[in-house]
Amino acid sequence: MFGTHSQNPPTSYRAKVPGREVIVVWVIRSFAFLACISLVIEFGFHTPPLPLGLLMAVQVLAVGVYVIRRAHQLFIASNVLTFLKRAWLDCGLAGFAVVFLLFEMEAAGGVRQAATFYVVLIQVLLIIKLAVEVVRFNMFVAQSNLHPARLFILTFVALIIIGTLILALPRSIEPHVYQNKSFSIADHLIDCAFTAVSATCVTGLVVYDTGNDFSYVGQVTILVLIQLGGLGLMVFGSVFGLLLSRKLSLRYSLAVQDALSHETLGTLKHMLVFIFVFTCAAETIGTVLIYPMFAAKMESDSALFHAIFHSISAFCNAGFALQRDSLVSYSGAWQVYVCLMPLIVLGGLGFPVLAELWRICRDNAWQLWDRRRRKIRNGSAYRVRLTLHTKIVLAVTTLLLAFPPLLFFLFESTATPVFSYRSTISGGNDEGRFMCEAGIGQRALDAVFLAATCRTAGFNTVNMDEAALSAPSHFLACMLMMIGGSPASTAGGIKTVTFSVLMLGVYATVRGRTAIEVQGRTIADHLLKRSATIAVMMIALVSAGTLALMFTDGLTLRSALFEQVSACGTVGLSTGVASKLSLVGRLILMGSMFSGRLGPLTLLIALSGKSRSLDYSYPEEPVSIG
């Protein structure tokens, strides 16, 4: 990592590295590690436990050693251009640090500022490289009978632990949290772990108020956890590995291909590049469009951060908001329905579907341009050939966005007069019991947004407690949260394709068909078995968690079921009881969020022993069912 080329040398080359070179590399890595610790101590505490002079010296020394190392490598390189191409990012950072040091040398504290700034950038690069190396290590140890699913779980656990430690630092929490008489260090660690799990698993359930209880450092940490957890550590490491000119091994590529549900290994690199570019573009466009909504109520710097935070949270289907009432106070803003809702839907479609739709739009546009350039009036039209996976995803997504809003609107028009708002910003009292009636148009918008956000987004423009929504609306929301988004997306749930395969299997059984047929294609039996397994395990997980919450915290069936489904589906919607749960209740939700993000089937594979095929089968015997 530190002190090595961006291009990993082959194993035979590593074996021939001189002992002195190995010592130099480990010395540089040790200084980098000490620099990380010094930054955590300096910026993680209001009053650092060590002298600032010592911390500054460690940071400046780490920067100086690394700059000298890179300069020496550049001086002895046989081909300077090749070296600069391989280590372009490291050399650029080193050059920037030298120039910054020269210009700031005369200013008070200039050396320290330049060193700190450079070390921060280097540590960001180090963290990225560590993520890539963790995935590579996952593929390497696959040969030692350790299942990749177990390492995939361990990487998530490591990210949660790191996030918990950072969120537990004094500078990550606002001072009023510590001034509370009921503050306890043990409870604080549990609440930080709950927040880290919720952010990494892109759920959105909170016990601390994200906007008021966490400082800017804590909010940025949560945002990073959301981005890493939304894309997945494996995909995220692959993208940045390609950006740093690293080559993906075959096993590594196969693992990423399985995570993305991508079948063509030769186009995996293009898929990873598409994921990176599309994610950056979608979140950037969302930030620009959402910014005016926040700028109307706060200063420009704060509005920009709010726009970035909510854009990333929406695309990753995380549901984290910096307002206590989520988006209830912004329910009348058009950006909520025109910007945030499309980001939620796009993030839940899945990257293979998005890539296929982009390819079709690009080919159609190119053909239209070519026909106009050649002045051809009648030419062969480009035939849209969607895969069966894309057809199923688009069909199910359209149905789930079209019919549930009608049901929500019906339920809230008959069981209760209107959607009920309890926003203190709207003029309610301190207890938030003010009820504000909405018109038909606003109710229709809220119904549409609720149908979209229930499928793992977690934002809400209406209150979700038992007094605000009717029982049928809560039950319908639970059904949508169970289904979730689509495979290889930032969403959770059993997934739309799993739900459609189960429904098609039921239809085939009722019609007396021996195989599942749709759109002139046959779905394999093992996919039906896999879908049934996922659905049954999710139902079992929800049932066990609901029963446990009712026993440990005395919740009603309605509240316990809603909270548990929201956690297992990584949605984040809550009836308001998540922050009031006991220690055991919070641990139950943490386990549910973790299991829902990784998938019950992945956990079962990781916990089970090594599978082996049998060369024999027992005779069949009929049993009575139904």
pLDDT in tens, 220-267: 999 999 988 887 655 655 555 555 445 554 445 555 555 555 455 456
Domain range summary for the chain, segments of one domain joined by +: 1-143
* Res. 466: pLDDT tops 90: no
* Res. 89: pLDDT tops 70: no
The rounded percent of the chain whose pLDDT value lies above 90 is: 31
Q: Give the closest residue to 97 by CA, choosing from 71, 79, 129.
A: 71
Average confidence (pLDDT) over 570-586:
90
Q: What angle do CA 126, 203, 532 make, to 5 degrees?
A: 110
Q: What angle do CA 185, 187, 193 make, to 5 degrees?
A: 105
Torsion sign (Cα): 114, 119, 122, 127: negative
138, 148 contact by CB (below 8 A):
yes
158 vs 101, more confident: 158
Q: For residue 376, what pLDDT is reported? A: 60
| HSE-up (13 A, CA, CB side) for residue 578 | 30
Q: What is the pTM of this model?
A: 0.82
Window from 152-166, 268-282, 592-606 with minimum mean pLDDT: 592-606
How confident is the model over 184-193, as pLDDT tens digits?
888 899 999 9
Q: For residue 8, what pLDDT is reported? A: 44
Window from 28-42, 315-329, 398-412 with minimum mean pLDDT: 28-42
Q: What angle do CA 380, 382, 388 make, to 5 degrees?
A: 140
